[in-house]
Amino acid sequence: MPLARRRHARAATVLVLLAACLALPSCQKSPPSRTEFALGTVCTVNLYGKGSVKDYDAAFSRLREIEATMSASLETSDIGRINAAAGKEAVKAKPDTVKVLSFALETARASSGAFDPTVGPVVRLWGIGTDDERVPATAEIENALVLVNHERVALDAVSGLVYLEDAGMRLDLGAIAKGFAADEVAGILRERGISRAIIDLGGNILCMGTKAPGVPWSIGIRNPEISHGEPVLSIQASDCSVVTSGVYERYFEKDGKRYHHIIDPKTGRPSDGEVLSVTIIARESMTADALSTAAFVLGRKRGLALVATYPGAEAIFIDRDKRVFASDGIRKELKLLDPSYTLADWPEPTR
Ligand code: AMP
Ligand code: MG
């Protein structure tokens, strides 16, 4: 995944009432939350009720391990080695990489390539979030697009061997690795006896347990039109992950036009539809992360159809007309905070 040297407006979702919760007596046993830069973004882990410095250490050491394994910008990572060997030889990858890549390829197939972990050559060309960001020439985009094809990844899950069939291909797991990392941190914390925590990896949120017995967490979804915008709505959530892909997360502007970081693999350009952000709520953060990117590229109707095939997953789309479209299972948990937004009647009733 690209390590952004400049962070434009990452942090897709914001926690509402977090400060209030810290003030609760039951929250005072844990040391304060910890924030560090990892996986190309700002990561915060907040343990509630129970937890120690060692628990935080364990969480962040796992994040660093995943970064060292999956960063596309590190030559020594699995992804760096696989990319360097594209068109030459297969590379043995760690079980973590095999798991994430397998799910990435599955999502690529399920989304007809709207999500594609081989989008790396195009991502590199645009350089969004790096010092080299620019609008590439059409010919450059066309040349890079030839190398984007998830069907040209040979993965043997048993041996762990990964081979990119064409020289110049590049894997990029930036749309899914943070989700995997959040699940892993939650697993480690659970093993250490922690049942209530918020794991926030650049806005990729995983809530463990509830805020208090019988009281869910309240999670804010940001205004997608403004960097660091206020939440326009909040949802009630417990024991699940809430992940947003949006136009405001990482972008640059040139000649009055905004170029964001989610690429449509069909065009090689930032995906340019009516939707400004997609939030997915799912039990597993890796699922929510992959689906949020896929649904963003697919758009509202096709995106919802994809999400509907994942049991328990819910979706919220916000479009350019300030309309909020929420799938049936999350509508009742949703509270509009900004009166300029409207909750649209959706999905359209079937006759
Ligand atoms: P996310 O913020 O989870 O939607 O992921 C966006 C990141 O994933 C980008 O910064 C790229 O590194 C990568 N990416 C961009 N477009 C795609 C795509 N269509 N499929 C898979 N990964 C993508
Ligand atoms: Mg994603």
Q: What is residue 24's predicted lDDT score, i.e. its pLDDT?
A: 33
C-alpha 92/C-alpha 282 separation (Å) is 31
Tens digit of pLDDT for each residue in 299-337? 999 999 999 999 999 999 999 999 999 999 999 889 999
Sequence-distant (6+) residues with CB within 8 A of 296 are 245, 246, 262, 271, 275, 277, 278, 303
Q: If you average pLDDT over each of 84-93, 131-140, 246-255, which comes out highest? A: 84-93
Q: Pick from 253, 304, 263: which is nearest to 280 by CA?
A: 304
Q: What is residue 119's predicted lDDT score, i.e. its pLDDT?
A: 98
Ligand 1 atom 19: the closest Cα is on which residue?
A: 115
Q: What are phi and psi of 10, to 5 degrees?
A: -70, 175
* Secondary structure in 3-state letters for 144-209: HHCCCCHHHEEEECCCCEEEECCCCCCCCCCCCHHHHHHHHHHHHHHHCCCCCEEEEECCEEEEEC
- 100 Cβ below 6 A of ligand 1: no
Q: Average pLDDT for residues 146-166, to the nearest whole number?
A: 98
Ligand 1 atom 1: the closest Cα is on which residue?
A: 175
- 181 Cβ below 6 A of ligand 1: no
- Residue 48 CA to ligand 2 center (angstroms) comes to 26
Query: For the chain, which domains are there?
Result: 4-64+194-343 (3.10.520.10), 68-164 (1.10.3980.10)
Q: Average pLDDT for residues 123-136, to the nearest whole number?
A: 92
C-alpha 70/C-alpha 14 separation (Å) is 25
- 182 Cβ below 6 A of ligand 1: no
Tens digit of pLDDT for each residue in 260-308? 899 999 999 999 989 999 999 999 999 999 999 999 999 999 999 999 9
CA distances to 99, 220, 223, 230, 348 from 18, rounded to whole Å, are 32, 10, 18, 14, 35
Residue 110 has pLDDT above 90, yes or no: yes
Q: How many residues does the chain have?
A: 351
Tens digit of pLDDT for each residue in 43-98? 999 999 889 999 999 999 999 999 999 999 999 999 999 999 999 999 999 999 99
Average pLDDT, whole number, for the chain? 90
Q: What is residue 9's predicted lDDT score, i.e. its pLDDT?
A: 37
C-alpha 230/C-alpha 337 separation (Å) is 9
Q: What is residue 48's predicted lDDT score, i.e. its pLDDT?
A: 92
Pocket probe for ligand 1: among 118, 125, 172, 243, the residue whose CB has the most ligand atoms within 8 Å is 172
Which pLDDT band, with edges at 50, 70 and 90, does 348 fall under?
A: low
Tens digit of pLDDT for each residue in 1-36? 443 434 443 433 444 433 323 333 344 467 889 999
Q: What is residue 284's predicted lDDT score, i.e. its pLDDT?
A: 98
Q: What is residue 199's predicted lDDT score, i.e. its pLDDT?
A: 98
